């Protein structure tokens, strides 16, 4: 990869309420989120690590977040084969997804930046010339991500953010974190992370976060699905007729006294408990709440469609609202 100064450029956004974030156009990455000086995300020690970014820290994920089975799908009776790198399945957009491409910053101010990316027809194997925009804005103690995209052909799309949250002062574990997810069902997966094609109710299981649960107590689970994934790496389904003004997830730390609420127009979220984090981190030292479309939807005909038609505008919003206990 040719690396220019643009790859390691940092854009700082802030508010008078004490929120400060750092954005890198490379990968449309949220490098840092600080609340009154306190970092709430995992961060790499060096900028070079954001160019490699094997864990997708803070990155924008596309064209298709999560997994597409065996890196292939059919659309209008035509088969498409996606780049997979060394993966069994296409993960987070294939071998070189949006997370590892240089976006253009076309506008910015103290409180927002607008990033754009052009993904050519055939990029990673996906059809259609796709124009993507991401507006990242801060107000008070909130960070709002507005994704829009349009293609000149019918295509599939699933965009999200991949920040790892750890609200503690010490980022070595998720001790003292309590999680709530407003979902009654999740998608069980195979040993390679592909949904099995049906949903399971969360009630009376270790996947039930409808009420706040202390996370570290959940990590001793012997639920077969927990063991299959080596932890939590599952898609939670939101009610289709839910009130979009209500938070779909909440994470709080009783150690730091900080919390974050997630609001989104997405139909669900992937809860990933950082099971396979490695150097410079340790496993389960951060977690992702990836608001997104259903994984492997192009191959699962009972799942909601991930197709956008030619010249249709794709629009999704993700908001992180931070607060003090």
Token pair 């649960």 is found at 213
Give the Cβ contact number of residue 179 at 10 Å. Answer: 21
Strand order in the sheet with 213-214: 104-108, 112-119, 130-139, 142-151, 313-324, 258-264, 249-253, 177-181, 213-214
Structure tokens at 278: 């490695």
Rounded to the nearest 5 degrees, what angle is found at the Cα of 295, between the Cα atoms of 291 and 300? 145
Sign of torsion, CA 260 266 272 274?
negative
What are the residue ranges of helices labelled H in the chain? 48-52, 215-218, 224-229
Determine the distance from the C-alpha atom of residue 49 to the mean position of all C-alpha atoms in its chain, rounded to a whole number. Answer: 19
Classify strands 130-139 and 142-151 as parallel, antiparallel or unpaired: antiparallel
Contact 159, 147 (CB under 8 A): yes
Sign of torsion, CA 268 222 40 64?
negative
The residues annotated as belonging to the active site are 162, 290
């Amino acid at each position: 990869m040719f690396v220019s100064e643009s790859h390691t450029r940092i854009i700082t956004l802030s508010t008078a309420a004490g929120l400060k974030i750092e954005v890198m156009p490379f990968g449309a990455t949220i490098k840092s989120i600080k609340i009154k000086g306190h970092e709430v995300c995992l961060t790499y020690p060096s900028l070079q690590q954001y160019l490699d970014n094997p864990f997708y820290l803070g990155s924008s994920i596309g064209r298709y977040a999560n997994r597409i089975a065996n890196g292939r799908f059919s659309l209008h009776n035509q088969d498409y084969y996606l780049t997979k790198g060394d993966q069994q399945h296409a993960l987070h957009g294939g071998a070189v997804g949006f997370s590892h491409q240089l976006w253009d910053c076309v506008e910015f101010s103290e409180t927002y930046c607008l990033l754009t990316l052009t993904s050519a027809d055939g990029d990673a194997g996906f059809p259609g010339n796709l124009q993507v925009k991401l507006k990242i804005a801060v107000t008070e103690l909130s960070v709002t991500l507005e994704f829009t995209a349009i293609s000149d052909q019918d295509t599939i799309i699933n965009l999200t953010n991949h920040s790892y949250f750890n609200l503690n002062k010490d980022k070595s574990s998720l001790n003292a974190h309590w999680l709530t997810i407003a979902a009654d069902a999740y998608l069980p997966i195979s040993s390679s992370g592909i949904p099995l094609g049906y949903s399971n109710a969360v009630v009376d299981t270790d996947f039930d976060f409808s009420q706040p649960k202390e996370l570290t107590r959940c990590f001793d689970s012997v639920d077969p699905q927990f063991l299959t994934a080596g932890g939590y790496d599952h898609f939670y389904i939101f009610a289709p007729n839910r009130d979009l003004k209500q938070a779909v997830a909440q994470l709080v730390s009783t150690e730091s006294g900080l919390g974050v609420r997630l609001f989104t127009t997405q139909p669900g979220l992937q809860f990933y408990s950082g099971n396979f984090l490695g150097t410079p981190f340790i496993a389960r030292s951060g977690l992702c709440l990836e608001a997104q479309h259903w994984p492997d939807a192009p191959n699962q005909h009972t799942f909601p469609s991930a197709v956008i038609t030619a010249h249709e505008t794709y629009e999704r919003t993700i908001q992180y609202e931070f607060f003090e206990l």
